[in-house]
Structures are given as structure tokens and as C-alpha cells.
Amino acid sequence: MAYIMVDIESDGPIPGDYSMISFGAVLVDEQLDKTFYAKLKPISDKFIPEALAVSGYTREETLSFDDPKLVMVDFKKWVDMTCKDRAIFISDNNGFDWMFVCWYFHHFIGTNPFGFSSQNLGSLYKGIERDTFKTFKHLRKTKHTHNPVDDAKGNAEALLIMKKDMGLKIKF
């Protein structure tokens, strides 16, 4: 199995009505050097200024970003090329990140290389600690910047620490 850590930025709370503005992905392995990054043109006229501000881009800037269909085709190619076997989607907040990535894959290209499920990094950590109030975020080495590649990499670093130092049984 190949774990792909993903982080997305959006201009609102749900796909379809709002847009995924950018996303980053990293193959979880010791090197963390296989990454994907994309900026996507909005798919609707709706956006929430405060949500968009988190991405660091203005609405005007996002209008010049790449065509979402082409981005999703390229991302699928990257996943297929990067993963020698089953690709596993994992993120810090998979309820949010997954819904955008899954929706965009199915809406624009009719398939999702991750299948129909995802993993939640925070839930893994809570299970290791046996405490639903614990957070893994102190395990990140790369600063959380809202650049989705930085954020995915920091989360991947945390997952590697869970495996190496905390006994998480996981295969990469």
C-alpha cells in the first residue's frame, strides 16, 4: 500500500457550491520527496472571503489558475505513477480534504484512484494515545503554513514518527 498525505485549501465549506483553490500531496516514505501541487480555477461564482484568505490568494489571482479537469487528470497520473500498488488517501482532516478531492475526481474525470475511502491522521493518533482529546500536531517538523505541500509534508512527518517512535503498525 502507498499512503498519499493530502491537504487542500478551498474558498468555502463544500465542493460544487464552492471551489478547491489548491492542494498538495506527498508520498509517505522516508524521503518525502515525491510531491504534487496544483492551483485550480474556481468552479463557481460563490466564495467566502474569509475562507479564501486562508489560501493566501485573492479571487482575482484564482481566476488565472489551472483548469480543474486538467489538474485532476494530472493528479491521477501522478498517483498512478507514484504508487506501485493500492493508493491510500490520508489527511489531517479527511472529512474535509477527502470530500473535495473525491468530488473533483468524480465530477471532472469520473473516477477516483483512491477508491471510496480515506484515512484520518488525527484519529490514528488518538487511537495510539487512547485519548480522543489528544492532537498529533506537535509531531510535525515542517511548519504549518497553509501551503498545502508544506502542510501535507508536516502531516506525513507526524505519521512517520507514529510508526517509528510510537509503534503504529503500518506499511509504506
For 108, the 3-state DSSP assignment is helix
Helices (H), the chain: 49-55, 59-62, 68-82, 94-109, 121-129, 148-166
Instruction: Report which residue type is found at 153.
Output: K
- Rounded to whole angstroms, the Cα distance separating 166 from 160 reads 9
- DSSP symbol at 12: S
Answer for the pair 156, 149: CB distance below 8 angstroms, yes or no: no
Q: Is 146 a catalytic residue?
A: yes
Catalytic one of 106, 107, 138, 146: 146
Cβ neighbours of residue 42 closer than 8 Å, sequence gap 6 or more: 11, 19, 21, 59, 62, 63, 65
Residues with catalytic annotation? 146
